[in-house]
Chains A and B, each alone.
Chain A
């Protein structure tokens, strides 16, 4: 497979990783390096395919970050424990070490996905981004290709070991799926009680506002703050920071009905 589709496979996996998919691009590079060592692939060809894929993916992420403002970073931070802190820390950390970060970002899981859109959001010049990103991509590809190249024999032994361990892996995967299903069931049971909060349709709330606006407070509880000029919210709403609820509660009116919304 590596002999027939090695370049395309390397290109596809690295492009997928660069645009944000959790694909094992480093493993693909190590495998390609081993293929180069066994003369199955041509080294400069693999390096070129990998570099083009990374630069294409990163460029797409850069411009997505530029045109979506901070929304993309906000989206990427939604999975973190504290999205607000994630956004602020990522931006400040990148601002302080931005140029160096771009060169080493590909080696750091998480930062890897954020670096290019952050550079776009933070209005880095594209020429500068491209130079730094190229340096980072080159370093990343060369190191992992070299690892594969020098460890070809070790990889061959490991792969034959994988065949022997396949049965064990199947058991482990099935066990992991069962544990995950149990976890989801526990989470579902735990949060089912939250369904007791009444839900209202927009039309219902609009009607209420037209009849008795004084007893209503609309509350924006989106996971992160407002970063882009021109961003909109429901007219008359106030924002509370979900991760700072104890403090935010002090500013909420107890004599009004609170209507919460997010994106």
Chain B
């Protein structure tokens, strides 16, 4: 993904360990905004 974006001219980097490492380091997180949530069907 990062490589593909580089090929399109973006200057990309990859965060080592991803979200898990970010969370573990105590770096700031935020709840995903409601409008970004994908609503899937439920039986209730």
- Give me the interface of A with B, judged by CB distance under 8 Å: 70, 87-88, 91-92, 95, 98, 119, 121-125, 193-194, 196-203, 205-206, 218, 220-222, 225-236, 239, 242, 245, 249, 252, 254, 256-263
B43 and A124 contacting across the interface, CB-CB below 8 Å: yes
CB contact between A249 and one of B8, B20, B32, B36 (< 8 Å): that residue: B8
Evaluate contact between B36 and A226: CB separation under 8 angstroms. yes
Q: Is the CB of A197 within 8 A of B27?
A: no
| B interface, over-half SS | mixed
CB of A194 within 8 A of CB of B3, answer: yes
Q: Is A123 touching B42 in the complex (CB atoms < 8 A)?
A: yes
- A259 near B1: Cβ-Cβ < 8 Å: no
Count, chain B residues at interface, CB 8 A? 39
Residues of chain B within 8 A (CB-CB) of A232 are 19, 23, 29-32
Contacts of B13 in A (CB 8 A): 197-200, 205, 257-260
B6 CB to closest chain A CB, in angstroms? 6
**Which residues of chain A are within 8 angstroms of B2 by Cβ–Cβ distance?**
194, 197, 258, 260
A225-B36, A227-B37, A230-B31 are known; give 15 further A-B pairs, CB within 8 A.
A87-B40, A98-B43, A121-B40, A201-B17, A226-B38, A235-B28, A235-B29, A235-B30, A252-B5, A258-B2, A258-B11, A258-B13, A259-B14, A260-B15, A263-B18
Q: Are B31 and A200 in contact (CB under 8 A)?
A: no
A-B CB pair tally, cutoff 8 Å: 146
Question: Of B3, B25, B37, which contacts A229 at CB under 8 A?
Answer: B37
Tell me whether A206 and B41 are in contact in the complex, defined as CB-CB below 8 angstroms, given that A198-B14, A242-B1 are known contacts: no
Q: CA separation between A197 and B14, bound complex, in Å?
A: 7
Specify which chain A residues have a CB less than 8 angstroms from the CB of B1 in the assembled complex: 221, 242, 245, 260
Interchain CB contact (< 8 A) of B10 among A87, A92, A205, A254: A254
Chain B hits for A254, CB < 8 A: 9-10
Chain B residue numbers with a CB within 8 Å of A193 are 3
How many Å lie between the Cα of A98 and that of B41 in the bound state?
Answer: 11
Return B15 CB to nearest CB of chain A, in Å: 4
CA distance A260 to B3 in the complex (A): 11
Q: List 29 A-B contacts (CB under 8 A).
A: A70-B40, A87-B40, A92-B41, A125-B44, A196-B3, A197-B6, A197-B14, A199-B13, A199-B14, A200-B15, A201-B21, A202-B16, A202-B22, A202-B25, A205-B13, A222-B19, A226-B32, A226-B38, A227-B38, A227-B40, A228-B37, A232-B32, A233-B19, A245-B1, A249-B5, A249-B10, A254-B10, A260-B15, A263-B20
